[in-house]
Chains A and B, each alone.
Chain A
Amino acid sequence: GDSVTQMEGPVTLSEEAFLTINCTYTATGYPSLFWYVQYPGEGLQLLLKATKADDKGSNKGFEATYRKETTSFHLEKGSVQVSDSAVYFCARMGSNYKLTFGKGTLLTVNP
């Protein structure tokens, strides 16, 4: 079935460090891909998305590129801040419009 595999955490970085969180997905059909973020005490929020191959989603300094050849959608940020500390979820949406999530990656950024 459809699935998403993302890098297990936790990930701990210092402020201004470079971030990569790996994500791969099953390539059944033509899925759309998403990164959601859950800040402490808050609900899930959409961070960015890409709907077709080679699209790049970006928001708040985060980027991810839809790579069909490697079935990947890795999340990157050049310089993280303490306020980026959260749990990040990679997700795919197929033709049935329901989201399939990865297990989540806890990111902690220290000052």
Chain B
Amino acid sequence: GAGVSQTPSNKVTEKGKYVELRCDPISGHTALYWYRQSLGQGPEFLIYFQGTGAADDSGLPNDRFFAVRPEGSVSTLKIQRTERGDSAVYLCASSLSGTSVYNEQFFGPGTRLTVL
């Protein structure tokens, strides 16, 4: 079956531009997570959706970052006024439910964002 998909796989942009990164979770998964992985580091949590609502956005670094999931399926991570420090691989994961440690988080392949 289809796994988590993310588009684009690579995105190059210029400093100050706006970008959108898309995540398609596994069908039927109600929980969706965004993580950011900088070079040589492990993934860091950004935001978690349960259904349409953001249950925890404590990992968003500042107000330039915003994410939505309007219909409880596809999610878009939006970054305004990009900075070179935003360059990283952005990972999306989904799980059947976000309310149990027994529900595995399945990860997508990531979007590599490069800000010039």
* Chain A residues within 8 Å of B, Cβ to Cβ: 4, 32, 36, 42-46, 49, 51, 89, 91, 93, 96-104
**With a CB–CB cut-off of 8 A, which chain A residues contact B45?**
98-100
Give chain B's interface secondary structure class: loop
- The number of A-B residue pairs with CB atoms under 8 Å apart is 54
3 nearest interchain CB pairs?
A101-B42, A44-B107, A32-B101
B80-116, CB < 8 A from A = 91, 93, 98-102, 104-110
**With a CB–CB cut-off of 8 A, which chain A residues contact B107?**
36, 43-45
* Chain B residues within 8 Å of A, Cβ to Cβ: 3-4, 31, 33, 35, 40-45, 48, 56, 59, 91, 93, 98-102, 104-110
What residue in chain A is nearest B107 (Cβ atoms)?
A: A44
Cα distance, A102 to B109, chains bound together (Å): 19
Give chain A's interface secondary structure class: strand
Q: Which of A43, A51, A98 contacts B33 (CB 8 A)?
A: A98
Q: What are 10 contact pairs spanning A and B, CB under 8 A?
A: A36-B107, A43-B108, A43-B110, A44-B91, A44-B107, A45-B107, A99-B43, A99-B45, A99-B105, A104-B40
6 more A-B contacts (CB under 8 A) besides A99-B43, A101-B44? A43-B3, A44-B43, A44-B93, A46-B106, A96-B56, A97-B48
**With a CB–CB cut-off of 8 A, which chain A residues contact B40?**
103-104
**With a CB–CB cut-off of 8 A, which chain A residues contact B93?**
44
B101 touches A51 (CB 8 A): yes
**With a CB–CB cut-off of 8 A, which chain A residues contact B31?**
97
What residue in chain A is nearest B40 (Cβ atoms)?
A: A103
Min C-beta distance of B50 to chain A, whole Å: 9
B41 touches A104 (CB 8 A): yes
Cα distance, A51 to B103, chains bound together (Å): 11
What residue in chain A is nearest B4 (Cβ atoms)?
A: A43
**With a CB–CB cut-off of 8 A, which chain B residues contact A97?**
31, 48, 98-101
Cα distance, A99 to B98, chains bound together (Å): 11
Cα distance, A97 to B32, chains bound together (Å): 11
B42 touches A104 (CB 8 A): yes
What residue in chain A is nearest B59 (Cβ atoms)?
A: A98
Q: Evaluate whether A103 and B98 lie within 8 angstroms (CB atoms) in the complex, with A42-B109, A96-B56, A98-B33 already known.
A: no
